[in-house]
Structure 1
């Protein structure tokens, strides 16, 4: 897919920022380029699509900056046969990008509105390897593992050890860990036997993981 002319400048600036931080896998760049980011945002935010700042979406939520999304997806090191669980569908953009790298994505969100909008976007882009559903992601998706990769876009207050059982051997979890108020650390947790090896890859301020699904929206 070719980006529209007025979008290419923003995408080029995004790539320059990424390359300034180190090598960027070609497959990841291709996945971002093939996924029209503007289609996941309200019209008034199109000119900011490739910015590094968070942008509002429905249900009082926000889409993370493009740079953070790229850093997290790169750290997941998704391989073609991987099965991925995403906790926090949001706009659906990151699931759409990852769908071009993995075999199958299961993406869950507590908001029915976000889940349904994401489904419509996947259908419009003919993305067939993503399953989106409304679910409580605070404990992962225990009945559907193991997954090769798990990514959460909301913060846990402590190390989510319960996700070990939902990971395949050598699998990777990336999740923000820290207090509800203030900064959290983005941790990359690799399953080694019955434990995690931890590598911290950044600092964020994201909303805490919430239990249960939203009753109305």
Structure 2
């Protein structure tokens, strides 16, 4: 009801969220806060966004059946799991092996089979994996990430956070039209700067 009050009225999305128990994805000590707005810490210095922000971002992606999705920054795996319920295939990557393994286990417990989890450096997307209808990035770029353009289908969408100042990070929506992006600034987000290369530890 809280999300609907914010204008998120996509029934397919809300149903997918309801069918994906977030308690499977939060660290055990935070089970009671699984559906709170609070940012919750994960291993490797990462975090998962509050439920409101997570669903708000998924709402802007406008996910449909048959789409192929790339997510850079798996984190807990919750958003990948929800996207898996709505689309054909999700490839989600994280630089930390610990996070990728934990997310894989949680996604399997949720009974979702069309999400592929990999430890990989996603700072330039996943060249060689074909094109995607949607790309979601959950780590902030210092500037608009144009390297992802060729990995999107025409009409495809990239949602990514960009540092607009030293302390301010904003979610941008970029829709590919031909060889250019149409940009829309969405809202401020608390994401950490993107780090290239896979983590050597953890």
Partner of 1:147: 132
Deviation per residue, 1:145-189 (Å, 9 max, x gap): 200000000001111111110000100000001158411110010
- Tell me: CA distance 1:202–1:111, structure 2 relative to 1, closer, same or farther (3 Å): same
* TM-score between both structures, scaled by the size of structure 1: 0.90
Taking the TM superposition and a 5 Å limit, the aligned residue runs for 1:159-178 are 159-178=144-163
- Superposed CA RMSD: 1.2
Partner of 2:96: 111
Partner of 2:121: 136
Whether the aligned pair in 1 keeps the contact of 2:73 and 2:139 (CA below 8 Å) is yes
Deviation per residue, 1:75-115 (Å, 9 max, x gap): 00111010000000001111001101110000000000111
* TM-score between both structures, scaled by the size of structure 2: 0.97
Deviation per residue, 1:19-65 (Å, 9 max, x gap): 22214200011011000101111222111111112101111110011
Structure 2: which 5+ residue stretches go unaligned?
Answer: none
Alignment partners' CA distance in 2, 1:204 and 1:183: 8
Alignment partners' CA distance in 2, 1:125 and 1:93: 10
Which structure has the highest helix share of the two? 1
Alignment partners' CA distance in 2, 1:25 and 1:165: 29
SS in 1 for 2:116: strand
SS in 2 for 1:100: helix
SS in 2 for 1:27: helix
Alignment partners' CA distance in 1, 2:113 and 2:84: 9
Deviation per residue, 1:132-151 (Å, 9 max, x gap): 00000110111112000000
- The answer on 1:35 being equivalent to 2:23 is no
Alignment partners' CA distance in 2, 1:203 and 1:100: 27
- The answer on 1:200 being equivalent to 2:181 is no
Alignment partners' CA distance in 2, 1:180 and 1:153: 17
Alignment partners' CA distance in 2, 1:130 and 1:23: 24
Whether the aligned pair in 2 keeps the contact of 1:54 and 1:65 (CA below 8 Å) is yes
